[in-house]
Amino acid sequence: MHTVLLTRIIPADDDELSRFSLVKKHIAYLRKGIKLWIHPLLQTDEGEVLSFLVSIKIDVLKFFRAENSSAQHIRILLRLLKHLLAYGGYTLDDMVVSRIDYCYNIRIADDHTREVLFRLLQKCPTKAIYTTRGINYATSIYSRSKSKVINVYDKTAERAAKYLTTGSCSDLPQAYEQDIVRMELQIKADHLKYMARRGVRRSAQNWLHMGMECYYLTKLYGMFPQGNFYTLSKAEEIIDSSEYRTKMKERLKSFIRIIADKDMDAARAQVSYNTYRRYLEMLNAIGVNPIPIPENSGISYIQSPFVFPESVFVTDRKKPFWST
């Protein structure tokens, strides 16, 4: 879990403004990663403010200085938010979730390996899980819809670029961000409102939950083919040594050759959707990613980053947790 935005609309002629000022005062004593601000929401033509929007933004990873959030982090954060809001006489139920960014980070120490990985990911489908990819960047994959944004990026490269722009040492990668590939799904207000209409309240207890994060990040991973990355020759060798029939082996090898020459969209255009999905499943079953590593890249193997360690998202629920 990365960023959480909680909001509340308050009338201008009420005591809520002073009550939230008390909350803001106590937030100021905390470490970096959590902040509260208030700005006018509705005004008359004469400039009279009728209502304010109160926003509390939490950068979970910055606040805990952690590579990934844990269930313990979320429990601590929920208790802290309850405590802070109580200074103004509020509870967590008085706030709504207006945005939440779920993420999982993996550390890849070698710069060249990360560079090659992002070149491979450019071959992924341009449309997946109701999002469409935009401009290709060397160190990120960015895909969006009106309600969600998918961003897989090199955190070290992002920080370095920001430092070159600002010159501020505070923009250099922190220890917990060094060598990180971040896989992030930003859930915006439109999707949260859609889920609320389906009975899932926009409460912190519903959305600040590891089971919910696992549910959504698993969907994010549906955008990327499973299996480890190999060179074309090694991938074909693994296919040949599998127990698939000879004819199917040739089809699978032909499939990944198209991707090696072009991309997954081109391979998808050559077969029916069901055949496309079946080929991906068969390759995944033998641990082969359909996107081969170029033979001249200097790398012959990259372990897939799109795998959750089970210990990270421990939950006894098959479906995401929520209350109505």
Tell whether 272 and 153 lie within a shared domain: no
Tell whether 40 and 129 lie within a shared domain: yes
Tell whether 203 and 154 lie within a shared domain: yes
Among 276, 302, 286, CA closest to 238: 286
Q: What is the pLDDT of residues 184-203, one digit of tens each?
A: 999 999 999 999 999 999 99
Q: Could you tell me where the DSSP H helices lie in the chain?
A: 16-27, 60-64, 71-86, 111-121, 155-166, 189-197, 204-207, 210-221, 232-240, 246-261, 264-270, 273-285
What φ, ψ does residue 198 adopt, rounded to 5°?
Answer: -90, 5
Q: Is the pLDDT of residue 316 over 90?
A: no
85 found inside a domain: yes
**Distance between CA atoms of residues 54 and 84, nearest Å:** 14
311 found inside a domain: no
Tell whether 36 and 164 lie within a shared domain: yes
Does residue 37 sit in helix, strand or coil? Answer: strand
Q: Is the pLDDT of residue 125 over 90?
A: no
Question: Tokens 């439109």 appear where?
Answer: 190
Q: What is the pLDDT of residues 3-56, one digit of tens each?
A: 999 999 999 988 999 999 999 999 999 889 999 999 999 999 888 899 999 999
**Domain endpoint, select from 193, 221, 249:** 221
Tell whether 53 and 77 lie within a shared domain: yes
313 found inside a domain: no
* The pLDDT value given to residue 322: 52
Residue 144: both structure tokens together: 């969006």
Given pLDDT bands bounded at 50, 70 and 90, which one contains residue 308?
A: low
On whether the CB atoms of residues 249 and 154 are closer than 8 A, the answer is no
Tell whether 190 and 250 lie within a shared domain: no
Among 141, 110, 153, 122, CA closest to 260: 122
Mutual angle of helices 246-261 and 232-240, in 10-degree steps? 170
- Which residues lie below 8 Å from residue 106, measured CB to CB, with a gap of 6+? 180, 181, 183, 305
Domain of 240 in residue numbering reads as: 229-302
- Which residues lie below 8 Å from residue 247, measured CB to CB, with a gap of 6+? none
53 found inside a domain: yes
Tell whether 184 and 276 lie within a shared domain: no
Tell whether 11 and 37 lie within a shared domain: yes
> Comparing 133 with 238, which gets the higher pLDDT?
238
**Domain endpoint, select from 221, 248, 274:** 221
Could you give the number of structural domains in the chain? 2
**Distance between CA atoms of residues 101 and 33, nearest Å:** 14
DSSP 201-217: ---HHHHS-HHHHHHHH
Question: Tokens 């790398």 appear where?
Answer: 299
The one-letter code for the residue type at 246 is T
240 found inside a domain: yes
Rounded to the nearest integer, the mean pLDDT of the chain is 90
Measured CA angle at 187 (ends 183, 191), to 5 deg: 145
312 found inside a domain: no
**Domain endpoint, select from 221, 256, 281:** 221
Q: Is the pLDDT of residue 137 over 80?
A: no
On whether the CB atoms of residues 187 and 147 are closer than 8 A, the answer is yes
Tell whether 97 and 246 lie within a shared domain: no
Tell whether 82 and 151 lie within a shared domain: yes
Q: Of 2-16, 213-227, 242-256, give the lowest mean pLDDT range.
A: 213-227
140 found inside a domain: yes
DSSP 88: T
Tell whether 131 and 194 lie within a shared domain: yes
318 found inside a domain: no
On whether the CB atoms of residues 26 and 84 are closer than 8 A, the answer is yes
Tell whether 15 and 85 lie within a shared domain: yes
Q: Is the pLDDT of residue 173 over 60?
A: yes
